[in-house]
Amino acid sequence: MKLIFCSFIFIFNLLNFPLIATERDIDIENINIYNQNKQINLSLLEGDELRYNQKVLLNGERHFYDAIINFYKEDNLIYSFDYNGQEKRIYLGLGKYDIEILTSLYRPYYFKGISIEVDTHRLNLYFPIELVELKGLVTLGNATFGGVDLILENILGDKYSVTTNIKGEFSIFLPQNIYNVFVSKKGYKQKEALEINTKYFGESESLEIELVEVPSLIRGYVFDDKKRPMQNTKLNIKNNDVEKIVYTNMDGYYEVEVEKGLVFVRAQKLGYAPSGAIERVEFFSKKRMKDIFLQELTSSIRGHVSTGINSLKNVRISLYEENGKFVKNVDINNRGYYIFNDVMIHNKYYLSVDSPNYIPYKSEIFKLSEKGLDNFNINLEDFNINFVLELFSAEKIELQNIEIFINGNKYQSDINGIVNEEIKSDKLVEELEVLVPKFNIQKKLKISDLGKGPYLIQINVDKGESIESEKLDEVEDLEEMFISEELD
């Protein structure tokens, strides 16, 4: 029974071996498992020639950093894995193998007929690192540049260096790899970053590297005439026919790269007179420019304050920017005149008056120019009510000397039944209450419904309205009060 089972296993492996062995997917490991598999420590090392050694222990040799290693037996791929610069433990059956090494930098390498025997515990593979000659020229503008140190660093961090001769030429042998090229020369830098891949080089290749001067640096500050930092100030910087525009930061500070030579800096900001600085800048240097001070451009606002008829006094006027930011305020003089001096031009403003004796005033928004504003006159409205009350009748009723009460004030109509008066008030009046006792008339009128003053009130005495007893009592009390005042 045991013999039958083993025979079945042998036949099963035999039948399946060709199908699996033809698989070419290099990501599949342990494609076939053989009897007597052995643990092998595999190392892929850099060498001077293509060879292998199964027994010598590693002694400071350098591992190859990246490769794919394929094991073939009888032309069938049976084992494949990535090698990443470290010794790898693998399992192989006894027998002979062909080994293929694939890398990104070199052509494929092959080891033929390598035997894995009972006493094989280590497999060291060596393959040569090919060198290519890199020649080149370093230039600055239209001229070659000698005495320049070049450093070529590969992806493993290995560095190789060479220096250009008096003609700006250099030559160096490099292992095939991918390199970043760096220039080391005080005051100069590469015009652009450079990476080379020597895999595609022949035995000798040429390379031209262009240098430019490392720019000098200027820096400085811009202030107003009160030595306050000027934020977001535009700077026009001219240097060797090259013009740049930069802006100051919140501290009024700026810095910019320039070439050696004269540097002209011109600062300008809306509302200020332009100013600037001139300095000579040396090669590969840092220069602190002289501080720039901008003089504020100002103008004035003048005007007169009245009720439209009479000049006022003891009134304060406030100036605000368009966004509501307070600027300053002034008091009018005894003749009603005011003036705002030293107000920044090119900004937008409005004037405001908030006096307890007058209705609050706010002007339209205006822009101040260098000419300033004259005759910016302000008419304030007080809380007094000017009105014209007219009694009329279709029945030809006598309307002369009729007593009329408005908000508790007593008036008397003229020969035409008209009252033209003013109600004195120190606060806003929103409503008028009119009483005409003789005709039993009572009306409440909203100021907002009467249009603009002087307010016209017309009353038809033919349509008298009944007055409640409480109102009649109030009217009688008012009449007694006025009689008492007249007697006094």
Residue-wise pLDDT for 166-191, tens only, equals 999 999 988 888 899 999 888 899 99
Sorting pLDDT into bands at 50, 70 and 90, what band is 448?
confident
- Homologous superfamily in CATH for domain 298-379: Immunoglobulins (2.60.40.10)
> Yes or no: is domain 216-296 CATH 2.20.25.90?
no
**274: DSSP letter:** -
Q: Residue 30: its pLDDT value, please?
A: 43
Helix (H/G/I), strand (E/B), else coil: 170: strand
Residue-wise pLDDT for 383-393, tens only, equals 888 899 999 98
Residue-wise pLDDT for 201-259, tens only, equals 776 778 899 998 888 999 999 999 889 999 999 999 999 889 999 999 999 999 999 99
pLDDT above 80: residue 1? no
As a whole number of angstroms, the distance between CA 441 and CA 99 comes to: 123
As a whole number of angstroms, the distance between CA 295 and CA 230 comes to: 11
As to burial, measured by CB atoms within 10 angstroms (0-12 exposed, 13-18 middle, 19+ buried), residue 80 is buried
0.85 cut: is pTM over it?
no
Q: How many other CB atoms are found less than 10 A from the CB of residue 33?
A: 10
Q: Break the chain into its structural domains and give their ranges.
A: 15-128, 131-213, 216-296, 298-379, 385-487
As a whole number of angstroms, the distance between CA 478 and CA 169 comes to: 117
**Which CATH number describes the domain made up of 385-487?**
2.60.40.1120
Domains 15-128 and 298-379 share a fold: yes
**229: DSSP letter:** B
Residue-wise pLDDT for 281-330, tens only, equals 998 899 999 999 999 999 999 999 998 888 998 999 999 999 999 999 99
As a whole number of angstroms, the distance between CA 297 and CA 277 comes to: 20
Contact 355, 315 (CB under 8 A): yes
How many residues make up the chain in this entry?
Answer: 488
Helix (H/G/I), strand (E/B), else coil: 3: helix
As a dihedral over the C-alpha atoms of residue 131, residue 135, residue 138, residue 144, rounded to 10 degrees, the angle is: 160
Residue-wise pLDDT for 127-168, tens only, equals 888 888 899 999 998 899 999 999 999 887 889 999 999 999
As a whole number of angstroms, the distance between CA 37 and CA 73 comes to: 14
Contact 58, 87 (CB under 8 A): yes
Q: How many other CB atoms are found less than 10 A from the CB of residue 95?
A: 14
131-213 has which fold? Immunoglobulin-like (2.60.40)
Give the pLDDT mean for 98-115. Answer: 90
15-128 has which fold? Immunoglobulin-like (2.60.40)
Report the 3 state secondary structure along 172-227. Answer: EEEECCEEEEEEECCCEEECCCEEEEHHHCCCEEEEEEEEEECCEEEEEEEEECCC
As a whole number of angstroms, the distance between CA 265 and CA 117 comes to: 82
Sorting pLDDT into bands at 50, 70 and 90, what band is 481?
low
Regarding beta strands 378-379 and 298-306, do their DSSP bridges make them parallel or antiparallel, or are they unpaired?
parallel
Contact 358, 342 (CB under 8 A): no
